[in-house]
Amino acid sequence: MTEANRSPAARIAQSFARQGLMTTFGASIALPEPGLCEITLPYCPAVTQQHGFVHAGAIAAVLDSACGYAALSVMPDDTGVLTVEFKINLMAPAKGRTFLARGRVLRAGRTLLVTQGECFADGSDRPLALITATIMSLPASRGLAD
Amino acid sequence: MTEANRSPAARIAQSFARQGLMTTFGASIALPEPGLCEITLPYCPAVTQQHGFVHAGAIAAVLDSACGYAALSVMPDDTGVLTVEFKINLMAPAKGRTFLARGRVLRAGRTLLVTQGECFADGSDRPLALITATIMSLPASRGLAD
Amino acid sequence: MTEANRSPAARIAQSFARQGLMTTFGASIALPEPGLCEITLPYCPAVTQQHGFVHAGAIAAVLDSACGYAALSVMPDDTGVLTVEFKINLMAPAKGRTFLARGRVLRAGRTLLVTQGECFADGSDRPLALITATIMSLPASRGLAD
Amino acid sequence: MTEANRSPAARIAQSFARQGLMTTFGASIALPEPGLCEITLPYCPAVTQQHGFVHAGAIAAVLDSACGYAALSVMPDDTGVLTVEFKINLMAPAKGRTFLARGRVLRAGRTLLVTQGECFADGSDRPLALITATIMSLPASRGLAD
């Protein structure tokens, strides 16, 4: 299969596999539908903060990746994504064995995509963290296609 | 030395050493003065995103820790810190060999502290990322003293 | 009716009536259920920006009030609310005749409440703006009960 | 003077004069230097919240305008500005007679400009509110030149 005719799922799986940080975290990715992305983060001591919870930065990382790939899943194949900014509210300590970060596209403009996401612990339906992220679509000519 | 008469610097060094994520990152901490905290993150493939830059989540993690410890450095010894929310603007790709995340306290209230910070690559004075973080002071009775 | 036995709706109506800015805007309020608040803003030239759309600050104002009163609607009667911080994404120009700002409580802690909201023009179901706001609950002893 | 050869200051003064909301607020604008903008808001009951302080939305509005015009002051003459998103921390009640909102450009990219600002009451040097705003530069062809 050439780069040009990859499915969106294959393209995102390849890009995700190049994220060293996600490999370090042992995270995995799923794309239930276009515009939606789920990343699973297992607890391990390598991602903790001082009280033994998962570090807010690790939660931010999986939420940011989930939002970025949700955006990429609705973009043309020869474009790349870059996070412009994000905002996170941490509503409860990140305590648990498995964390699900879900990101989705709310509005897809020509240049900017607005995404939102939540992070859940151990199958709970009450989010422990929320993200709103602005993602920029980069033309392939910038040399950063995903 | 008992817990009770630690200096702020010793207390923060001990708390930082318990952050598994910072150990994973090979990050180090300095406290130039009360209300100011600097964390250094060396580049390594384990913290990258798909284009080989440092992942926004890793930048967020060191900025969040820098803001949290800047806050802790001006708080009573028997309190703990928790990040309520933060917002990050990523102004340039995190490209370089060494990243300096600097956090400082802007306003210290009874319950909430407002902090800001920047991240710089390789000694540059132009920040590549900005953070504004709201930190909550937790009384020791919550069992989360730092 | 004394202050002490007001219904939440009456209490919020009284507080809203004291917001000079909402009177200036000709805005009105509704409380469909606890934890949910809707504010309606009619278009008028007094609230515009330079292109004739409604100013982002006016949209922010009604979204902030909607989130604050959503929070107040689930809080004890002798407390007051104060906005700690908010973040707004403006996804489309605020073009229309009537704007609906809806705020709801996502998480109600002892001290802080996390709220989210959207703003819609002319009955559309696609939001033109999003807010995430952190609201602080103030004990009556601070003299700011609502 | 034609539109084409206006000075940046004249262009911004004309755009500001078209902001109905700023007229409603009795606000005035100054441009001390390129990339910096100051807006003055006098206290009046028409801009208050329920405790008699200035409403966070009014503070947001002057901070947003200050950031937008700071951005416009460094952009080509045939472009327009649109706020993509902003985040505000309210660190103290907006209590006073005169409020100064200062916005400045931190990073000017081709498409996006990152700005920051503070709001001060009555000549104080301690900000009561902080903003970080992302501003988009629109080509004249979109019909929204300022």
The per-residue pLDDT for range A44-89, each reduced to its tens digit, is: 999 999 999 999 999 999 999 999 999 999 998 888 999 999 999 9
Confidence category of residue B1, pLDDT binned at 50, 70, 90: very low
Residue B126 has pLDDT above 90, yes or no: yes
Across residues B40-52, what is the average pLDDT? 96
Question: Which residues does chain D have within 8 Å of residue C12's beta carbon, measured at their own beta carbons?
Answer: none
Residues 78-117 of A with CB under 8 A from D: 84-85, 87, 111-112
Q: What is the pLDDT of residue C77?
A: 85
Across residues D121-130, what is the average pLDDT? 98
Q: What is the pLDDT of residue C1?
A: 44
B134·C85 Cβ contact <8 A: yes
Token pair belonging to C123? 């009955």
Query: Which of C16, C39, C44, C55 has the highest number of chain D CBs within 10 A, making it the mutation to test binding with D?
Result: C55
Confidence category of residue B78, pLDDT binned at 50, 70, 90: confident
Residue A6 has pLDDT above 90, yes or no: no
Q: What is the pLDDT of residue B5?
A: 65
C130·A106 Cβ contact <8 A: yes
Question: Which residues does chain C have within 8 Å of residue B87's beta carbon, measured at their own beta carbons?
Answer: 87
Report the gap between the CA of D107 and the closest CA in chain B (Å): 7
**Cα C82 from Cα D51, distance rounded (Å):** 10
Nearest CB partner across the interface for C85, out of D20, D88, D146: D88
Confidence category of residue D7, pLDDT binned at 50, 70, 90: confident
A89·C130 Cβ contact <8 A: no
**Cα C10 from Cα C31, distance rounded (Å):** 10
**Span B12-39, pLDDT tens digits:** 999 999 999 999 999 999 999 999 999 9
Q: Are C98 and A143 in contact (CB under 8 A)?
A: no
Residue D1 has pLDDT above 50, yes or no: no
Mean pLDDT of chain D: 93
Token pair belonging to D13? 């003064």
**Cα D11 from Cα D145, distance rounded (Å):** 10
Query: Whole-model pTM?
Result: 0.95
A20·B47 Cβ contact <8 A: yes
Could you tell me which residues are beta bridge partners of residue A8? none
**Cα D14 from Cα D19, distance rounded (Å):** 9
Confidence category of residue D143, pLDDT binned at 50, 70, 90: low
Whether residue B51 lies within 8 A of chain A, CB to CB, comes out as yes
Please give the single-letter amino acid code of residue C133.
Answer: A
Confidence category of residue B142, pLDDT binned at 50, 70, 90: low
Q: Are C126 and C120 in contact (CB under 8 A)?
A: yes
Tell me the C-alpha to C-alpha distance, in Å, between residue C136 and each of B122, C33, C110, C130, D60.
Answer: 39, 20, 9, 20, 18
Please give the single-letter amino acid code of residue A145.
Answer: A
The secondary structure element, H or E, covering residue A76 is: none
Which residues of chain C, if any, have pLDDT below 50?
1
Residue D132 has pLDDT above 90, yes or no: yes
Across residues D47-72, what is the average pLDDT? 97
Q: What is the pLDDT of residue B128?
A: 98
The secondary structure element, H or E, covering residue C55 is: none
Q: What is the pLDDT of residue A1?
A: 45
Nearest 5°: phi and psi at D129? -150, 150
Q: Are A68 and A83 in contact (CB under 8 A)?
A: yes
Q: B: neighbours with 3+ CB pairs under 8 Å?
A: A, C, D
**Cα D117 from Cα D132, distance rounded (Å):** 7
D89·B127 Cβ contact <8 A: no
Report the gap between the CA of A139 and the closest CA in chain C (Å): 21
Distance of CA B142 to the CA centre of its chain: 22
**Cα C66 from Cα C101, distance rounded (Å):** 6
**Cα D79 from Cα D143, distance rounded (Å):** 9
Q: Where are the beta strands (DSSP E) in chain B?
A: 28-33, 36-42, 79-90, 98-108, 112-121, 129-139
A20·B61 Cβ contact <8 A: no
Question: What's chain A's Rg over C-alpha atoms?
Answer: 15
Nearest 5°: phi and psi at B9? -65, -40
Closest CA to D136 of D126, D124, D128, D144: D144
**Cα B52 from Cα B72, distance rounded (Å):** 33
Mean pLDDT of chain A: 93
Across residues A10-38, what is the average pLDDT? 96
Question: Which residues does chain B have within 8 Å of residue C88's beta carbon, measured at their own beta carbons?
Answer: none
Q: What is the pLDDT of residue C67?
A: 98
Residue B143 has pLDDT above 70, yes or no: no
Q: Are A53 and A70 in contact (CB under 8 A)?
A: no
What does chain D look like in DSSP terms, one character per residue? --GGG--HHHHHHHHHHT-HHHHHHT-EEEEEETTEEEEEEE--GGGB-TTSSBPHHHHHHHHHHHHHHHHHTTS-TTEEEEEEEEEEEE-S---SSEEEEEEEEEEE-SSEEEEEEEEEETT-SS-SEEEEEEEEEEEGGGS---
Q: Are C10 and C4 in contact (CB under 8 A)?
A: no
- Higher-confidence residue of A110 and B124: namely B124
How many CB atoms within 10 Å of residue A95?
14
Token pair belonging to A59? 């939660």
Q: Percent of chain A having pLDDT more than 70?
A: 93
Q: Provide the Cα torsion C120, C122, C123, C128; round to 10°.
A: -20
B87·A84 Cβ contact <8 A: no
Q: What is the pLDDT of residue D119?
A: 98
Across residues B98-118, what is the average pLDDT? 97
**Span D18-48, pLDDT tens digits:** 999 999 999 999 999 999 999 999 999 999 9
Q: What is the pLDDT of residue B7?
A: 84
Q: What is the pLDDT of residue A126?
A: 97
Closest CA to A119 of A135, A131, A134: A131
Across residues B68-88, what is the average pLDDT? 94
Q: Are B136 and B112 in contact (CB under 8 A)?
A: yes
DSSP letter, residue A128: S
Nearest 5°: phi and psi at C71? -65, -45
